[in-house]
Structure 1
Amino acid sequence: MKEMCDKDVNSDLANLVDSWFRDGVEEESYSELTKETLRPGNRKSLVTVKTNQLIWDLLSPSLRTNDKKIQNAQTSIVKAGAILTKVLDKLGKDTKNENSELVDQTMQCLALIGHSNRQLCLFRRELMKPDRRGEYSHMCSQSLKFTDQLFGDDVPKAVKDVNVFKLNSII
């Protein structure tokens, strides 16, 4: 089955994209890119989601290492999201609507990047599930919202709330 493709892009651009997607970016360039890319001040979601300290302390060293690797990958996603957000903001200021197709494509790109970030957060939780103590195993529910912290802003409260819910459902 052949994959459907759109029209070709400039060959130099195509080669650059192939290189970045297959080989990545040189470490020095990557470091510069991530340091120089700042998020808009009113976008709290464009940060690398950290693991709550309470949960982090319960993880095995190997799981901490793997989680840190995934966080590093998420940094690239978040920085790309920050750049696209700023591009979209500039495109949206075009009052003549000359860039409506670019606005739509940039919105689609941001949606996919945001979805990828969420998927990685949920995957990180799932990886931690076997390592967590029984009282925290429910914390990897997809319905539990994350913030700049993987398990939300108040882990003790979330644990307490679930225990109250369990108790009420037993009664």
Structure 2
Amino acid sequence: MKEVNKNILRAASVITKSLLTLYKVAQEGKHSVVAQEVGVLNGALALLGNANFRNNLSRRFVMKRELNQKFSHLCIEKVPMTQFLFGDDVSRSVKQIEESAKLKSTITAKET
């Protein structure tokens, strides 16, 4: 799946470069066809972005089975993805989870 993401990102880069060029041409004059194509390519770029996001969610889901159970919530959709699959500061997130687990075990009553 990581290789699929690379291809999606490469395609998105090519489309973005073409879009920037076409946008400049459309702004220079009366090129309504070019402006329409910019709109179409923007839609394709949005679809590639969504495919990349969904593919990354699938990668997280697969990895979730391999993670320690207490860290599994890092794999949910609400955890932001940046250029890194689990966000910019995974170590901070892990520390927060560990601190929360310690606090929970301190506060909750022990089973007898």
Task: Determine if the TM-score, normalized by the shorter chain, exceeds 0.5.
Answer: yes
TM tier relative to shorter chain: 0.7 to 0.9
| 2:16 counterpart residue number | 85
Q: Which of 34, 43, 61 is 1:126 aligned to?
A: 61
Q: Provide, for residues 115-154 of structure 1, a one-character-per-residue CA deviation record: whole Å limited to 9, x for no partner.
A: 0000000110011111111221111011111122111121
Q: SS in structure 2 opposite 1:131?
A: coil
Q: SS in structure 2 opposite 1:151?
A: coil
Q: Does 1:135 align with 2:70?
A: yes
Higher RCO, 1 vs 2 (CA within 8 Å, ≥6 residues apart): 1
Structure 1 residue 160, shift from structure 2 partner? 3.1
Cα RMSD for the two superposed structures? 2.2
Task: Note the residue ranges of structure 1 that are not aligned, 5 or more in a row.
Answer: 1-69
Task: Note the residue ranges of structure 2 that are not aligned, 5 or more in a row.
Answer: none
Structure 1 residue 102, shift from structure 2 partner? 0.3
Distance 1:153 1:115 in 2: 20
Structure 2 letter corresponding to 1:127: V
Change (3 A) 1:101 1:142: same
Structure of higher CA gyration radius: 2
Instruction: Give runs of aligned pairs for residues 5-154 of structure 1, distance below 5 A.
Output: 70-94=1-25, 95=27, 96-98=29-31, 99-154=34-89
Structure 2 letter corresponding to 1:73: V
The runs of at least 4 aligned residues of structure 1 exceeding 6 Å deviation read none
Kept after mapping to 2: 8 A contact 1:135/1:159: no
Change (3 A) 1:103 1:97: farther
The answer to which structure has the higher helix fraction is 2
Q: Provide, for residues 62-109 of structure 1, a one-character-per-residue CA deviation record: whole Å limited to 9, x for no partner.
A: xxxxxxxx1111111110000000000001102225111100000000
Change (3 A) 1:105 1:97: farther
Q: TM-score, normalised by structure 2?
A: 0.79
Q: SS in structure 2 opposite 1:104?
A: helix
Distance 2:85 2:13 in 1: 19
Structure 2 letter corresponding to 1:90: T
